[in-house]
Amino acid sequence: MKQYDYIFTGTGLSALMTVYEMVLSEKFSGASILLLDENPKKTNDRTWCFWDVERAFASTVSKKWDHALFANSEFCRNLELKPYQYNMIRGLDFYQFIFDAISKHAKIDFSNEKVLDFVDLGHQCEVKTEVEIYSCKKVLNSIFDPELVKKQSKYPLLQQHFVGWFIKSKEEVFLEKTATFMDFSVEQKGNTRFMYVLPTSSTEALLEYTLFSKDLLPKEEYESEIEKYIQKLGISDYEIIEKEQGNIPMTSYQFWKKNSKNILHIGSIGGWTKASTGYTFKNAIKKSKALVGLLSTETDFTKTYKRDKFWFYDVLFLDVLFRKNELGSKVFSALFRKGNPTLIFKFLDEETSFWEDIQVIWKCPKGLFVRALLGRVFRF
């Protein structure tokens, strides 16, 4: 049985960022680390976008925008993002950057194996894959288990699900310096549905048809809606360069209560995904840095998380969208119609004061959230 200090079950964004931060810290130079994942991370399987001031992972950013467009069927607003920039990172570029950095450390291994199970035995952990059983001092798990949420009703589960096409058009229709952050002008069909457009030139862009809802759609429906939107843009001649598909869990379920002394859940299953938006990249930057600092001082993973005001805000927001999913466009439109974009992004980054929170929250439909609050009071 092979022995390691740390084993990462799953090598998604959270795991790779954490390993990268461990390497940068130089406090783990003597630690043996194993990364386990059935996905070899050698394809461009996803795109991450995030707003940022500090220019994180700048060498991997393939495109950035200083302006973003918000629209619905009634109005359209061009958002000035400064001091923020909206950044796009291709999955493959990020994987290559991380693996290049960690490959210089002889005690970090990656094995392309499917994880079947892991258990905390008290004095050590065991991880079972399809081909091997490993032992280690600590497990950091990022394999999401939706059944943990589905078998309870206290905290609802929405899904941010999407299909994206990267297209090249013969017509010059895209505004290269402006990303379409949310376009709710598409038919809502009883859900929260919007288009997301990331132009890389006047003729090339990633278009994603996105929903915040309980249930997934047949793939054909996503693609049909993308085709309709392309026609709406006035594009008649184009080719599809690349496709992507994703599903991000949106929930305030207290995953951290499933941590044991030696097993820590990270990523979406650790509550790292921003529950109200599905954004993960910026949160993963912050939480991976904090986790590496914690690993140097804390040996009991049951003491690693505390609820804060932003968790509470997300609970109410998800309660609203879960019960009244068709009103998502109304909520976001109220927020962005006259709200200060930089303050909204600061709020979504969980960096605002209470007074700043009030300025953002006050823009939202008050009746919906008051009812959500009253319905939630006795459920905490």
Which residues, including other chains, have CB under 8 Å from residue 271's CB and lie 6 or more apart?
Answer: 252, 253, 254, 255, 256, 265, 305
Q: pLDDT tens-digit profile of 137-196?
A: 999 999 998 888 988 889 999 999 999 999 999 999 999 999 999 999 999 999 999 999
Give the global pTM. Answer: 0.91
CA distance 123 to 299: 12
Asked if 140 and 300 count as a contact pair (C-beta separation under 8 A), the reply is no
Q: How far is CA 172 from CA 165, 183, 215, 333, in A?
A: 17, 20, 35, 28
pLDDT for residue 378 = 67
Give the whole-number percent of the chain exceeding pLDDT 90.
81
Split at pLDDT 50, 70, 90, the class of 55 is confident
Mean pLDDT of the chain: 93
Task: Give the alpha-carbon dihedral of 215, 218, 220, 226, to 10 degrees.
Answer: 10
CB–CB of 111/35 below 8 Å?
yes
Which of the pair, 208 or 1, is modelled with greater confidence? Answer: 208
d(CA 209, CA 207): 7
The pLDDT-based confidence of 299 (bands split at 50, 70, 90) is: confident
Backbone phi, psi, residue 278, to 5°: 85, -5
Residue 272: pLDDT band with limits 50, 70, 90 = very high
